[in-house]
Amino acid sequence: MYEVGRLCVKLAGRDAGLKCVIVEILDNNFVMIDGQTRRRKCNVKHLEPLKEVVKIEKGASNVAICSALNKLKIECAEKKEKAVEDKKENKGRTKKVKKVKEKRPKKEKKPKTKKKETKKEEKPAQKKKAKAEKKQEESKAEKTEKLTKAEKPKTVEKTAAKTDKKETKK
């Protein structure tokens, strides 16, 4: 059913509804098509074969396919072949010559000396934060000292009060 030169209608994709010719059979499910559509690999499920068969060679060019379709009164725009154009364009161009840079002599490396450790100057905002943190730590330390001093006598007083109560009860 699917053979080289078979005229088909594309059913799926952006080329749907356009006529094409099978240029090459790739395997059981895929063929190469060309014509009103783009030249590309296509699944046979996306093609509907027609009765007409065009006499073309396997892997024929777009020009040969368009001339065969024009004989059947099917309009086909000839497409430029990219590979041929690139070769023609490259023949007319001259190659760019790269300039070779002179190598500069390498500078002598000086032995590394140990750097003295210097205190980094803090930014004003960082200084303020550091001062505030120190103040907070100092105030916490003072509070804990006060609490420990204040608690000790209270505990002694409490224990003394408990012993007094016990004595009075007896």
Q: For 23-51, what is each residue's pLDDT tens digit? A: 999 999 999 999 999 999 999 999 999 99
Whether 61 is in a domain gets the answer: yes
Whether 114 is in a domain gets the answer: no
Let me know whether 128 and 74 are in one domain: no
Q: Which of 75-79, 120-124, 125-129 has the lowest mean pLDDT?
A: 120-124
Q: How many domains, in total, are found in the chain?
A: 2
Whether 16 is in a domain gets the answer: yes
- The tokens describing 90, both together, are 């490259």
Let me know whether 10 and 75 are in one domain: yes
What whole-number distance in Å separates Cα of residue 41 and Cα of residue 25? 9
Whether 138 is in a domain gets the answer: yes
Structural domain range at position 136: 124-170
Q: Which amino acid is at 133?
A: E
Most confident of the ranges 35-44, 100-109, 114-123, 133-142: 35-44
pLDDT at 49 (0 to 100)? 94
Most confident of the ranges 64-73, 81-90, 106-115, 145-154: 64-73
Whether 38 is in a domain gets the answer: yes
Let me know whether 131 and 68 are in one domain: no
pLDDT at 126 (0 to 100)? 72
Instruction: Please name which of 43, 41, 33 lies closest in space to residue 12, comparing C-alpha atoms.
Output: 43
What 3-state DSSP class applies to 17?
Answer: coil
pLDDT of 118 > 90? The answer is no
